Copies of this chain bind each other. A is one copy, B any other.
Amino acid sequence: MTFEITKELIENVIGYVEQKNDTALSELFFDVHHADIAEVIEELPFDEALYIIKLLDSVTTSEVLIDLDEDTREKILEQLTAKEIAEEIGELDTDDAADIISELSEERQGEVMLEIVDEEHAKEIEELLGYDENSAGGLMAKELVKVNENWTVLKCVKEMRAQAEEVTRVHSIYVIDDAGKLKGRLSLKDLLVASTRTPIAEFYIPKVDFVRVNDPAEDVANVMRKYDLEAIPVIDEADILVGRITIDDIVDVIKDEADKDYQMAAGISKDVEANDTIWELTKARLPWLILALFGGFISVSILGGFETAMKTYPELFFFTPLIAAMAGNVGVQSSAIIVQGLANDSLKGSLWKRLLKEVVQSLINGFVLASLLMSAGMLFLGFKIAIGLTVAISLISVIMIASIIGTFVPIILDKRGVDPALATGPFITTSNDIFGILIYFMIAKTILGF
């Protein structure tokens, strides 16, 4: 790890670009990993970034483009001609190529596709563009090594050599039949040991893990993680081998999925990071805050409705933030456990059992917290028994209802095809705030009779 991005390095690059010192720039970036070049590009002003992209050869810049942030890539692609983009695309594996093209406008997509020289490559990219980006089809590459079960070892080795040239990492050799259906895989060791005339059919391994082209990306990640796979073949509805997914893409899926869930839980929509512009960050944060404000506004009206109780029981109003906070916290806990269970596909047993479990848990938590609150409130703040009891009973009820809501909302969202992680964000805190306050005052009204 010798390459480090320093302030001096960035200043040097900017200086060289100003002097149009292409030799110095080429030397500077010689043999530097594309992921590092991408990081330098992100730090440069736009014109300098574009200059570097245009200067370096397309073998390098095509990989750099893949490593860039979506925003930076979009801006750079806007400044390139369809022909220039096609050249970059020509250097990339089909999956990366399709990812880049899919980010262009439909009109430009057509222009770029027409400029791709290798027709086979263009056809494969076209096919990949047809799949949902969050499915196995959207993740897979067309590059893989496959052999026909009817071939002999000799023919197989010859064909494999030609195919392997286009595949960066071979991982596995897949065996197909004449129709192209996935039949199994081949062990390189077995292949080397077998005599040259033996047909593949005699010794291939019929047991092979695979995913279907329409399987969601998350499922693919779960399978590959569970079985520690470095690559998995993808088949279509007719069992035809259509592509291959490698672990590096899955690492990105896992990371992105986790980042998204975390951001949703924190009330940030869209994929933003600390270095984004103030405008981008505000766009990601403000909608959730407006939702929370709206929720807060409802709680203001609820409290306003109980104004008459204020004269007799002013203490009741001191507890509203506490009740609301507990409802929010409990709800988020319950939701988070369900969201993770759904993501890891580890939710087992019936809904009723799960409900019972939540109720028992919230009763335990509720009783512990309510007794703490009651004793502290009466000891240190000198509250009357009636008030203490009201708050305690309300706290237990609010905790129970918040945990039931927290459990069911993500399950319902998931069943309706909405990302359940939505439930752990300000959405659940806000609605639980409202429910909490409402329940609290309704119980208080019943007990104290105002």
Contact = CB atoms under 8 A, between A and B. Distances in A.
Nearest to A338: B274
Interface stretch (A74-82, A100-108, A150-158, A290-298): A290-298
Contacts of A299: 318, 321-322, 325
Contacts of A307: 314, 318
A254 B225 CA distance: 11
21 contacts: A230-B230, A258-B261, A266-B336, A268-B336, A273-B337, A273-B341, A274-B340, A274-B341, A275-B347, A275-B349, A285-B361, A293-B326, A293-B369, A296-B321, A296-B326, A303-B317, A317-B317, A321-B321, A324-B325, A325-B429, A325-B433
Interface in A406-434: 424, 426, 429-430, 433
A365 interface: yes
Contact of A273 (B310, B344, B426): B344
A263 B293 contact: no
Contacts of A22: none
Contacts of A24: none
A333 interface: yes
A83 interface: no
A56 interface: no
Contacts of A344: 273
B258 A429 contact: no
A437 interface: yes
A209 B1 contact: yes
The interface size bin for chain A is: 35 or more
A344 to B, nearest CB: 7
Contact of A333 (B207, B258, B285, B321): B285
Nearest to A318: B303
Contacts of A59: none
A364 interface: yes
B296 A322 contact: yes
B429 A267 contact: no
Contacts of A90: none
